[in-house]
Structure 1
């Protein structure tokens, strides 16, 4: 695709996405583009004009070397960085940097961005692509942001509004069933402080393979059970969440407290409620760039932009030793890989009459997967507040591009929180079918033994 055609696609996208939030699905002719000029997820198959972004040819399908607990080393581990961005040259490259990354480069001593050649490794199972293709002509969102005729996975591969584009980020493929053993740390200019160590089990019914029964009857985006292993005074606590497909619904959640041997409904596990997993340093909806209901914001697509984003960070996950991964001022940027990718830039402003400690936020979304890679947050005074980075890694055996460690940097307090840190030899990811009974309140209560 030549540069003019690529630009035209982006302009059409911005023009269409400024339409009303109430609309029908796309036509069959439009949907056919998902098999030709667009990727199965709605990105542009072609590379960019100068070749620095290659064409998408199906993602990373070739096997990778064996890695510990499903953390395979990356195929291009020996590549050299094309350039290094730091405080001395940030102005030169600011057009390809998010506001948050510019703030980090200017405010965090020693912070750098190492840019490597771009590899479009994102992929998902074929049955997921088939459902996304079907969604293009069936799934609809009304003016209350209620979704109907959804077939599973990404609902709007060719979005017609900012709300639809933002909805896609909440359905992004993260594997079908996965168990993650990891920790959360808070860092404020000194050694990392452990907030929690957990075992999380997640299941995404919308991506179940054909023939596997969906016990949630098409109403659940994902089910999650998190058990706390440390610190000791929280050991054995469990939180169960059933996340509705509707993006204006409060998640159903339950907490099991072993000291009381009681199961309780958890009133609110989203929006700006402080997260217990970071000892309240971050809010529930800050993990993974944005997480939860989208109904408190007016969303618009600013456009598509070529940006340096964290990508293909398999090697970061295989780093040894917490002191190597987390430094006093930031994560170890020498271990992190950045690449030039096209991103959807989606901005949310707080609706009239709604309340949230973040009245304005912006997310930068990978065009090949709908995964948020970066997120920026502003406070009530209009000052820049927080920058989020989401590291992903590719695993062809799943197959998929999987969300891994992510960081929330508080520019104002000069601190950061690190989620899903794989610091121990037993930390990592296990992909296997998880019984549906795991995600029932009755099963949670019966399993609670300290």
Structure 2
């Protein structure tokens, strides 16, 4: 089964907790702190695998999490790093953030790896907090939570040549004739419901990839007939072969079909209308083919190369394949060479460290990545750790900002899922 779109949840592993520990060795009655750090959480990684052709694995499993880092131990021993989780996807997969639509990764080369959810930092043990003012710290940090988010995976086939045309124009028969692909073929519209890839071999050691795109209909660029799902597979093709049914149709003509499909390509993405395109006038083995071919060429004008073929008998396929190969070679040469990146000046714009708002219950709601991280990494069962969090908030200016917003003693302050009483 072919699946070219999936929505998944990814979460990096949480960092392990640092611990509070002290040396208890013979002849050392007042040993110092020796609590080790927690291990870093495992990342969630996407890796390209050219052996895959579909996103079907993500239909049956939607949640992916990196392993949590191990907690620190006494005698200064640090916790082990959590194991990374690697997900393999086909070449041509585009990864986007489901909430913002931001492009996370474009997977185009074998072995390419992208971290899509970082594991959290391990919490520091009490050894890390020794200072001239505090020789025996009795607190440690919890591990930082791993990053979590929903992602959209979309597969855009990587093919040299894309076959386009109306349903039942003969695209599947054509690709089965020139490659080892075995698509479903039948005499009714929308036989092909998913793209098919085929390797076309030309001579000794030379080949290119064809993609049979399911038949398009009028309105495809708006999503009609699953148009969006099919059209995106053409975005990476170098050359288009427009397969036209040249046989007699009761309610439409070949040149009308040709014009409609080209209009849909242009409406979906302007760039597709400028892609090299040749025409395969199919079903020339049927009666009246020669007459309709002449009329077809006259209607569409001299701007297109037309190759009369019969996908069923194989007649005319060799010139079509050779011309497609020439266009693919030309397109590859015209791909611009990478240029050195210009030196750019980056201006850092400081962001607010936190935001304060009021909810319907009258609580003061404090949000912000830095504040929420400090809360998540605090052990609220340890009084010393809580006092440290209070000092951090004071240095950040959170206490003063709450007063300026009107907070008074006894008011409820909400940070993440926790609630605190404001004490002035």
State the TM bucket, normalised to the shorter chain. under 0.3
TM-score (norm 1): 0.20
> Which is helix-richer, 1 or 2?
2
TM-score (norm 2): 0.21
By relative contact order (CA 8 Å, sep 6+), the higher-ranking structure is 1
Q: Which protein shows a greater Rg?
A: 2
